[in-house]
């Protein structure tokens, strides 16, 4: 007798062969790495989601709060979904993993990059509700993004319909970096052998990861360890000083 599970896996694999959608294997489950998918593969994804306790895929609306963080779980990438960001989470070694530079390739998935960015922006994960809270976000950012956005494009699908929200969120993040800090990535990581990427080697994913690292460096050097109240007071005093000049 062919079980429902057997039918489902067979159907998913067949659809994946022609449409670019792959049913993840155990080590990488929950991570859709490539390809466009059509209506048939969407049906496969829906059926797959009916399995007992499946690992979520990036297209699932709860993926940001419930998706697996496999490299964090294994210790390859230092990250906790809960709490405030730590020095270890934003170290140079972590940035190299986000950049997938040299021997650091394949050591953090897109969701792990997003999760680190969300924490640094002030979103806090509520494990009881399995959702992100924006109480501690920067005020202007919270108005624009009450819920944490996808900065990387975790589906790896670059049609305007799917990717435009991620592209706009990444651009908004980059706009918060002062001009003087926009080239800090190569300066900070040159001692590790990082001199940037060749234009021909850039992909949307690599570009957004590099831009995310640049913002994390700015955050680390200027905002990390300081309360929102301190930063707002500094901004107020700076504005007053400019008005007196």
Residue 63 near residue 131 (C-beta atoms within 8 A):
no
Tokens 């435009």: give the residue.
164
The confidence band for 187, taking pLDDT boundaries of 50, 70 and 90, is confident
Task: Give the N- to C-terminal CA distance of the chain in Å, as an integer.
Answer: 83
pLDDT over 70 (residue 82): yes
Nearest-Å Rg of the Cα atoms of the chain is 20
**Taking the complete model, does pTM exceed 0.85, yes or no?**
no
pLDDT over 80 (residue 4): no
Query: How does pLDDT run across 188-224, given as a tens digit for each residue?
Result: 898 888 878 888 888 999 999 999 999 999 999 999 9
Q: What percentage of residues in the chain have a pLDDT greater than 90?
A: 55
pLDDT over 70 (residue 17): no
- Comparing CA positions, the residue from 70, 76, 74 lying closest to residue 111 is 70
Specify the 3-state DSSP secondary structure of 143.
helix
| Cβ-based neighbour number of residue 61 at 10 Å | 8
Specify the 3-state DSSP secondary structure of 199.
helix
pLDDT over 60 (residue 10): no
The confidence band for 51, taking pLDDT boundaries of 50, 70 and 90, is very low
């Amino acid at each position: 007798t062919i079980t429902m599970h057997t039918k489902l896996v067979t159907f998913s694999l067949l659809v994946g062969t022609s449409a670019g959608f792959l049913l993840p294997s155990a080590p990488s489950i929950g991570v859709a790495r490539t390809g466009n998918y059509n209506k048939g593969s969407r049906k496969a994804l829906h059926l797959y989601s009916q399995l007992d306790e499946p690992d979520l895929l990036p297209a699932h609306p709860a993926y940001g709060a419930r998706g697996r963080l496999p490299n964090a779980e294994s210790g390859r990438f230092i990250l906790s979904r809960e709490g405030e960001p730590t020095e270890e989470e934003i170290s140079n070694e972590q940035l190299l993993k986000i950049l997938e530079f040299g021997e650091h390739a394949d050591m953090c998935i897109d969701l792990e990059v997003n999760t680190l960015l969300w924490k640094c922006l002030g979103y806090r994960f509520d494990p009881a509700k399995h959702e992100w809270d924006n109480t501690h976000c920067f005020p202007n950012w919270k108005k624009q993004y009450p819920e944490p956005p996808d900065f990387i494009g975790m589906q790896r699908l670059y049609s305007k319909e799917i990717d435009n929200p991620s592209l706009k969120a990444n651009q908004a993040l980059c706009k918060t970096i002062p001009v003087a800090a926009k080239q800090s990535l190569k300066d900070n990581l040159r001692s590790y052998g990082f001199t940037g990427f060749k234009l021909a080697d850039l992909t949307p994913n690599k570009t957004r990861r590099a831009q995310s690292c640049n913002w994390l460096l700015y955050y680390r050097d200027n905002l990390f360890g300081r309360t929102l109240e301190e930063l707002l007071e500094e901004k107020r005093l700076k504005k007053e000083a400019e008005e007196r000049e």
